[in-house]
Amino acid sequence: MELKAGVALSLSKGYKQTEFGVIPSDWEEKEFVEVMDGFSSGQTPYRAIPEFYRGDIPWITSGELNYNIIIDTIEKITIEGAREANLKMIPKGTFLFAITGLEAAGTRGSCAITGIEATTNQSCMALYPKKGLLITSYLYHYYVRYGDELAFKYCQGTKQQSYTGAIAKKLPIVVPPTIEEQTAIATALSDADALISSLEKLIAKKRNIKQGAMQKLLEPNEGDGLSLSKGWVVKKLGEVCEIYRGGSPRPIESYLTLRPDGINWIKIGDVRKNAKYIESTEEKIIPDGLSRSRFVNKGDFILSNSMSFGRPYIMKINGCIHDGWLVIQNYQNHFDRDFLYYVLGSEAILQQYKSMASGSSVLNLNKEIVKSVIINCPKSVEEQARIAITFSDMDAEITALETKLEKYKKVKLGMMQNLLTGKIRLV
């Protein structure tokens, strides 16, 4: 938000330079205290009296500020608890932002609007805009855009980065001159939020439909829940596939190479979000590292021992895996590749892993656990393939929706940048 050295200050007529960048001349830079009627924060009722938390008064904590309208709370307190903490009800439609723990990416810049009357803890601050100068919906979208940057620049503290009341009052804000223009900006951005939210709900619905279809189509049992459906068989993975653990040449730095003929070195970092395949690697190793690792082929499955816990990935390249991976090979005589992918990623298999996995805080797989996994499947590989096509089609639809969602989010970011600096004006 600070001006950079060497920035040219030759501006078009009707604009001025600020720490937010170039804005219209009739927009004003204000401190929060100039456009607010009040600031308030709450408290935490005495935790040693559990009865205080068995009431019906909504009580908001900073962890619930998630760029949202809050219509319910995780905890509710009693009248006695509210009195003990000297809490007052915050009206519906109030803007809240987090004022403590701002060094954490999940908290820094987080805010919300109350959709109900509620109380808050001391980590939330409520702001009350002055009528005729600022509207809550514009303040909300402004803070969604600049909250991270404000926290980085203005919050203080050694053990925990926070705002004080005094700091919050001095936070800067750029304000369009009329309530009508503020309303137009807030409405446009709210409409974009609504579109994004509806698409997120649709994606969640499609995922739930897919989950239901997987439970149904991967379930071989007939009505009595005991006998296998006709044409289905039970297979223990280790009896029909080969399963190995990877290996890590050490020190790995001695084996890395920039040569184009190096061997692909596959790491967790090579996995793209929601990916089905491993298609490329950032690093390669020299051929001498092959004897100290495990070579995997195009079409093999690899599973992480701990991170992403057992999620399957299909190799689209050849390469070597370190000892954080397991590989499943030579399954083709018994399984259709895509069918096995969906089975290995199903909740039923995950529950088998969890029941057998070791580890106190982090669950860990090993090849013996994966070998012991029981899979129910059609005996016919062709039938497996027909089932897998259903899931592949669903995945394709979800992926298309996710791509559209990312596009909408980028459009919204562009709208925020243009509308909240007056580059595009809605008057």
Residues 291 and 309 in one domain: yes
Closest CA to 309 of 326, 293, 330: 326
Please name the helix (run of DSSP H) or strand (run of DSSP E) that holds residue 172, with its range, or none: strand 172-175
Provide the residue range defining the domain that includes 219: 179-227+380-420
Q: Are residues 50 and 189 in the same domain?
A: no
Residue 10, both tokens: 């030759």
In b/e form, how buried is each residue of 196-214, taking b as 16+ CB within 10 angstroms? eeebeeebeebeeebeeeb
Count how many domains the chain has.
3
For residue 422, the cross-strand partners are: none
Q: What is the DSSP letter of 178?
A: S
What's the confidence (pLDDT) of residue 3?
Answer: 34
User: From edge to edge, which strands make up the β-sheet containing 57-60?
Assistant: 75-77, 57-60, 119-120
pLDDT of 107 above 50: yes
Whole-Å CA distances, 422 to 14, 27, 174, 188: 11, 8, 10, 13
CA–CA distance, 255 with 132 (Å, rounded to integer): 67
What is the band of 377 on the pLDDT scale with cuts at 50, 70, 90?
A: very high
| Distance set, CA 282 to CA 179, 251, 272, 324 (Å) | 51, 18, 12, 17
What the block records as the tokens of 71 is 């219509």
Residues 296 and 353 in one domain: yes
Residue 333 or residue 5, greater confidence: 333
Q: Classify the phi-psi angles of 366: left when phi > 0, otherwise alpha if psi is within -120 to 50, otherwise beta.
A: beta
pLDDT at 30: 95
Mean of the pLDDT values across residues 303-321? Answer: 89
d(CA 222, CA 218): 12
List all residues 6 or more positions away from 97 whose beta carbon is below 8 Å from its beta carbon.
65, 109, 110, 111, 112, 124, 125, 127, 143, 147
> What is the phi/psi pair of residue 258, to 5°?
-100, 0
Gap between the Cα atoms of 243 and 374, Å rounded? 14
CATH assignment at residue 305: 3.90.220.20
More confident residue, 179 or 363: 179
Whether residues 403 and 375 share a domain: the answer is no
For residue 222, is pLDDT > 80? no
Question: What is the average pLDDT value for the chain, to the nearest integer?
Answer: 90
Same domain, 20 and 52: yes
For residue range 362-373, what is the model confidence (pLDDT) as tens digits?
678 889 999 999
Banded model confidence at residue 12, pLDDT cuts 50, 70, 90? confident
pLDDT recorded at residue 231: 82
pLDDT at 11: 64
User: Are 172 and 41 contained in the same domain?
Assistant: yes
Q: What pLDDT does 106 receive?
A: 66
Model pLDDT, residue 220: 59
- Answer yes or no: do 293 and 339 share one domain: yes
Q: Quick one: average pLDDT of 390-408?
A: 96
Query: What predicted TM-score, i.e. pTM, was given to this entire model?
Result: 0.81
Q: Are residues 414 and 370 in the same domain?
A: no
pLDDT score of 8 more than 50:
no
87 and 223 in a single domain? The answer is: no
Distance of CA 309 to the CA centre of its chain: 17
What pLDDT does 223 receive?
42
Residue 123 above 90 pLDDT? Answer: yes
Q: What is the mean pLDDT of residues 36-50?
A: 96
pLDDT surpassing 70 at residue 229: no
Range 240-267 average pLDDT = 93
Residue 285's pLDDT band, with cuts at 50, 70 and 90, is very high
Cβ–Cβ < 8 Å for 315, 302? yes
Residue 7 lies in a domain: no
